[in-house]
Amino acid sequence: MKVLVTGGAGFIGSHVVEAFLAAGHEVAVVDDLSTGFRHNVPPGVRLHEVDIRNSKLTEVFEAERPEVVSHQAARANVRESFEQPLTYAAVNVLGSVNVLECCRLHGVRKIIYASTGGAVYGEPSWLPVPEDHPVRPLDPYGASKHHVEHYLQLYSLNYGLAYTALRYPNVYGPRQDPKGEAGVVAIFTGLMLGGGQPCINGSGEQQRDFVHVSDVARANVLAMDRGDNEIINIGSGAGTDVNTIFSILAGLTGYTAPAKHGPAKLGEVQRIYLDATRAREILGWTPQWPLKEGLASTVEYFRTRNREGVTTGSPA
């Protein structure tokens, strides 16, 4: 099929592009390169440098005529969302509505939407968190991502546009930018290998659901022809605390300094991990990367970049 990936030059989006290509699909990318990078886009894949809020987005749809859209483009930093709530509403909500309008006008069959399981549920009442858990985000980022889920249902009911909303966990892996994108694994790894000192926010006992980016990309491919009009958690079903992540990464990088702790951050959930039963039953998806192996692959990626003298995230 012909697939258009928004945000396809970013961390997660570029892995999604590669997964679609590996599955034999034709792929194009739209990305304004505000947080993504041109070198993340595989050779031969057309990159349209367009903001998803811009009216020029319809020209991309006219040129590419995609059957499926994988909508990864978003602002995705909880702390930044408190500082820039208007930007998060503009990009994540209005930008997504623009994508949906383009889908409607240009005959797209299905949209796969990157939502968030880590931020929409707020502080969970029970664990692991299923999709029917009450939605009560604690930050503007989570609120903006959930808001679009209502628009997905609206466009499905009124215009017949199929959708699958994938609620992501804490995604980590190669290409995550330790300077620009949220992600404790990338931040810690970059500092440990670069001679810096990572800071653990709060006690470090807060638990997250860590899933390798390759597993998340595979879920997008499976959702092309499964899970129509469903909201589906993508997760491991287990929580790992930040202190443990620090310890594993220290061992992998050879970092020997003691952990440094700072104050807890506004809007941070204490414990969150996702029940991915529906992903298994509907998509046939389960995570394939064990945490320690996934962290080792991430550290090796950063090491290789450092040896090559390339600053992670910079154009290359």
Catalytic residue positions? 141
Residue 25 Cα distances to 2, 22, 84, 117, angstroms: 6, 7, 36, 27
Question: How is residue 67 annotated by DSSP?
Answer: S
Q: Which of 64, 14, 66, 23 has the alpha carbon at shortest distance from 42?
A: 14
Q: Which of 208, 138, 141, 203 has the alpha carbon at shortest distance from 171?
A: 208
Q: How far apart are CA 27 and CA 44, in angstroms?
A: 9
Report the DSSP beta bridge partners of residue 200: 261
Q: Helices 213-222 & 11-22, crossing angle to 10 degrees?
A: 50
Contact 166, 292 (CB under 8 A): no
Task: Name residues whose C-beta falls within 8 Å of residue 170's C-beta, 6 or more positions apart in sequence.
Answer: 118, 183, 184, 185, 208, 209, 210, 211
